[in-house]
Amino acid sequence: MAIAVDASSPVRWSGANTANGATFVSASFTPPNGSFIVIMVTNDTTTGESGAAYTLTGGSLTYTNRVERQGTETTTGGYSGIYTAPVVTGSAMTITLTRTAGTASTGRASLWARVLTGVDGTTPVDTVGASNEGGSTSTTLTTTSITPGANGMLFVADTDWNTKGVMTSSDLTIDTANYATAISVAAGHKTCTSGVGVTGSLTAGAAGPQHKWCQIIVREAAGGGGGGGITYPQLEGSIRGLNRGLAYRREESGLYLPDRTLVLPPPRGWPTRRAA
């Protein structure tokens, strides 16, 4: 199954980012079993603020902060971060962002989440490094090129701290909002190909923005592009019936192949040949 955005994804939600303890709660939605949620968080901050902290909760899921660009980093001001959460059993839920530290009253916090299907259950997100975040004062921002380790989907989150209006993109499918006298934000995605460098482009609503961006690649499940390739759950059933005398290893492609270098001897006392 190819990686895809599920129709259960909630729409953007936001709120006044007034003080420590403020919460920002999404509308209720019901992700499917085995799906994967990507949450893009964009916040206003005061000049160079690094004291604010946030946590994500909801649906009894485990949320992982994959990458973030803090208010103290270049360009100074504004925050963007991307979190993920795997869903084992889908049920009605909300996502809550809670501000847990920081004293400044600032304009807005704004979030956008996408529920994905067809995501690699073993390594859902590519390695994150220095190329996964940045700041820019260019009207049109192009994120640093990163090379996917598998086919998948690039996600980008961006806060324009100078509030130049709703953003546009020439290549990403985006969701964008503008909060007057606070921040402009955008989040978007596009598919990407294993081994082929990928960037995302976002254009501010007017000249003179101050972008604070970050990005990740969510990896497609093995066989996702092949139209019905073998998936891990299917293999689990069959692998139990495989020859006990052989070890199997999981290839990069996700397939399980006999590992001839790790042939195990039969347990002591077992016949090595069927009796005539």
Partner 1 sequence: MATALAIQSRAAGSYTSPDVSISKVGDREILVQGTGLSAADLADATFTLTQFVEANDSAGGNAGWYPVYGPDVWRGGSISRFTGQPIPPGFDFINEFTRQNSAARRLRLRVDSSRTATWGFDVTDAAAPTP
Residue 20 in the binding site for partner 1 (CB under 8 A): no
Minimal distance in Å, beta carbon 128 to partner 1? Answer: 24
Residue 61 in the binding site for partner 1 (CB under 8 A): no
Q: Near partner 1 by CB under 8 A, which window of 13-21, 51-59, 128-136, 244-252?
A: 13-21
The binder of partner 1 chosen from 7, 88, 130, 276 (CB under 8 A) = 7
The binder of partner 1 chosen from 105, 122, 138, 253 (CB under 8 A) = 105
Query: In the stretch 177-216, what mask flags binding to partner 1 with x, by CB under 8 A?
Result: xxxxxx--------------------x-x-----------
- CB atoms near residue 119 (< 10 Å): 26
DSSP string, the chain: ---EE-TTPPPPEEEEE-STT-EEEPPPB-PPTT-EEEEEEEE---TT----EEEEE-TTPPPEEEEEE-TTSSSPS-EEEEEEEE-SS--SB--EEEEEE----EEEEEEEEEEEESB-SSS-B----GGGEEEE-SSEEEPPPB--SSSEEEEEEEEETT-----B-SSSEEEEEEETTTEEEEEEEEEE-TTS-B--EEE-SSSS--EEEEEEEEEBPTTTTSSS---HHHHHHHHTTS-TTSEEEE-TTS-EEEEGGGPPPPPTT--SS---
The binder of partner 1 chosen from 44, 68, 126, 133 (CB under 8 A) = 44
Minimal distance in Å, beta carbon 180 to partner 1? Answer: 7
Number of residues that bind partner 1 (CB under 8 A): 42
Minimal distance in Å, beta carbon 112 to partner 1? Answer: 9
- Among residue numbers 144 through 183, which ones bind partner 1 (CB under 8 A)? 163, 165-166, 168-170, 173-182
Residue 79 in the binding site for partner 1 (CB under 8 A): no
The binder of partner 1 chosen from 1, 2, 5, 235 (CB under 8 A) = 5
Binding site for partner 1 (CB under 8 A): 5, 7, 9-19, 22, 24-25, 27, 44, 46-47, 105-108, 163, 165-166, 168-170, 173-182, 203, 205
